[in-house]
Amino acid sequence: MNDTDTPGRPLLLQGNEAMVEGALAAGCRFFAGYPITPATEISEAMSWRLPALGGTFIQMEDEIASMGAVIGASLAGVKAMTATSGPGFSLMQENLGFACIAEVPCVIVNVMRGGPSTGLPTHVAQGDVQQARWGTHGDHPIIVLAPATTRDCFEVTLAAFNLSEKYRTPVIILSDEIVAHTREKILLPPPATLEVVDRVRPAVPPEWYIPYEDTPRGAPPMAPFGHGYRYHVTGLVHDVRGFPTERPDEIEPFLNRLFRKINQHYFDINMVKEHLVEDAEVLVVAYGSVARSAKRAVSDARERGVKAGLMKLITLWPFPWGNLLPALRQVRAVLVPELNRGQVAREVKRLAKGLTKVETINRIDGKLITPEQIVERLLKL
């Protein structure tokens, strides 16, 4: 893409490149990161796109520092993002926890690859689903979104920034190697048609500002550093003014509020796409690149007399029980194909207990689950 490209023009983009466009459309103006396969194209594109828009790109010495820089930029009032893959995502976990407890909005992209450790750097996997939920220590809520198409990459990245700003929380995007490197033609919508959410800023003078006060929606207004609002930021459990506390009457309300601001807005955060679910007798639950195979498989199974349907999960955490439960009550079987040993299937089985049977297709060799593999299992179900 060059400076002569106009919004709305059809573009041939990788998923990684579409994420950059989604981030910029959302108002992201800071990126700190460290190159890593298969996420490097995000850093590369940001390195020249951001400065052209008056933003800042920094290549950091490692992923720990990258996350720290992103937190600092967000505290200063700038929408900030980083991108990495499995090993780098592991390094980010401590600072991710800091962002959770300090309620610092930011977006973290993890383009999943085979693991553990260095694993299969150039091959696809979906092994980081549970890590995205529980990777940083402590009892905390998190929002995790998973795109499946290049179009999704644009829309999900925009949504991730909006949710992050709205609820003062880190948002994780779990992409994968195939989604990241698949090129597709997409039509970028005109900026004026996009909903872009900015964090709520205080409407009171600095001396009246309470940085972590409770509010009806659970997320307090956030003042940018350097604008006259001075307050304390810490990774310790803190009171409403940001100072460390060990008082039970302050600790419990604070931690409960962190959960409440996510839980009470579940239906705003929850995103799924349904395909032929209304009359389905067998349901496929998939996400990421596997959802692409699953959509084709459902159509092929229908041609062969199987009433199959697909529920493509975009929101992985909080887990989309609201959409799944009604579907589980109507079908006689569920199939969960995924590129791990059953991380989302575990959650589906918890919901489906006593309602219907759940079977899985698991692949961990760095190759994609094909539509044919899914159709074969659907015919047996």
What is the total count of domains within the chain? Answer: 2
Average pLDDT over residues 249-268: 97
pLDDT(119) > 80: yes
Q: Residue 166 gets which letter from DSSP?
A: H
* CATH code at position 325: 3.40.50.920
**Per-residue tokens: 267:** 């239906």
- Tell me, yes or no, whether 235 lies in a domain: no
Q: What does the pLDDT average to over 10-19?
A: 96
One domain, residues 188 and 330: no
Boundary-marking domain end, from 193, 224, 240: 193
Q: Mark whether 50 and 158 lie in a shared domain.
A: yes
Is residue 134 a part of any domain in this protein?
yes
**Alpha-carbon distance 381 to 306, whole Å?**
9
Q: Does residue 268 belong to any structural domain of this protein?
A: no
Q: What is the pLDDT of residue 8?
A: 67
pLDDT in tens, 33-87: 999 999 999 999 999 999 999 999 999 999 999 999 999 999 999 999 999 999 9
Identify whether residues 145 and 288 lie together within a single domain. Answer: no
**What is the spatial order of strands in the sheet that 272-275 belongs to?**
272-275, 308-313, 282-286, 333-338, 357-362
Identify the DSSP state of 172. Answer: E
Question: Which DSSP state fits 280?
Answer: -
CATH classification of the domain holding 103: 3.40.50.970
Tens-place pLDDT, residues 295-304? 999 999 999 9
Whether 364 has a pLDDT exceeding 90, the answer reads: yes
Are 177 and 325 members of one domain? no
With respect to residue 217, please indicate whether it lies within any of the assigned structural domains: no
One DSSP character per residue, 16-45 reads HHHHHHHHHHHT--EEEE---TTTHHHHHH
On whether both 286 and 179 belong to a single domain, the answer is no
pLDDT of res. 4: 42
Final residue in a domain of this structure, among 160, 193, 226: 193
> Stretch 162-166: mean pLDDT, rounded?
98
3-state DSSP assignment of residue 350: helix
Which structural domain range is residue 23 located in?
A: 10-193
pLDDT at position 159 is 98
Query: Are 189 and 278 within one domain?
Result: no
Q: Which of 380, 287, 301 is nearest to 340 (CA)?
A: 287
State the sign of the Cα–Cα–Cα–Cα dihedral 167, 133, 131, 290: negative
For the chain, state the CA radius of gyration. 21
**Distance separating alpha carbons of residues 68 and 137, to the nearest angstrom:** 17
Residues linked to residue 143 through DSSP beta bridges, in sequence order: 171
- Among 193, 208, 234, residue at a domain's last position: 193
Q: Are residues 174 and 288 in the same domain?
A: no
